[in-house]
Amino acid sequence: MAYPPPWQGHPGVHPPRYAPRPAPGPRRPDRSWIVALVIVAAVAACLIAVSGIYHVMKLASPTPQRDFTVVFEIGGTAQSAHLNFGWPDHEMEPSDFETWPTHSSPWRREVSFRAPDDLPVRVDLVAFAAGEKGGVTCRISVDGRTVAEDLGDDDIARCEGDARKLLAPTTGATPAPASTPATGPPPTSDIIAGLELPAGSTGLRDSGEGRESWEVPLPYAEAVDKLRAQLPVNLPYRGLPWCWEHVERDLTMWTWGDADEQIYVTVNGAVRKGSAVAIVHKARSPGC
Q: Which has the higher per-residue pLDDT, 206 or 100?
A: 100
- In the prediction, which pLDDT does 265 show? 93
- In the prediction, which pLDDT does 176 show? 38
Residue 46: strand, helix, or coil:
helix
- In the prediction, which pLDDT does 183 show? 55
Q: Against a cut of 0.75, is the pTM above it?
A: no
CB within 8 A of 278, min separation 6: which ones? Answer: 146, 211, 212, 213, 214, 265, 266, 268
Which residue ranges make up each domain of the chain?
32-162, 202-282
For 32-62, write each residue's pLDDT tens digit: 555 555 555 555 544 444 444 444 344 444 4
pLDDT at 7 over 70: no
* For range 175-203, the mean pLDDT: 76
- In the prediction, which pLDDT does 51 show? 46
For 79-100, write each residue's pLDDT tens digit: 999 888 888 766 655 445 566 7
* For range 215-219, the mean pLDDT: 92
pLDDT at 209 over 70: yes
Whether residue 110 contacts residue 69, with contact meaning beta carbons closer than 8 Å, is answered with: yes
Whether residue 169 contacts residue 175, with contact meaning beta carbons closer than 8 Å, is answered with: yes
- In the prediction, which pLDDT does 153 show? 84
Q: What is the DSSP letter of 224?
A: H
pLDDT band (50, 70, 90) for residue 184:
low
Instruction: Please state, as a whole number, how many other Cβ atoms lie within 10 Å of the Cβ of residue 158.
Output: 20
Lowest mean pLDDT segment, chosen from 61-70, 124-133, 234-243 = 61-70
- The Cα–Cα gap between 171 and 93 comes to 34
CB within 8 A of 45, min separation 6: which ones? Answer: 94
- The Cα–Cα gap between 234 and 257 comes to 12
Lowest mean pLDDT segment, chosen from 10-19, 149-158, 174-183 = 174-183
- In the prediction, which pLDDT does 203 show? 87
pLDDT at 123 over 60: yes
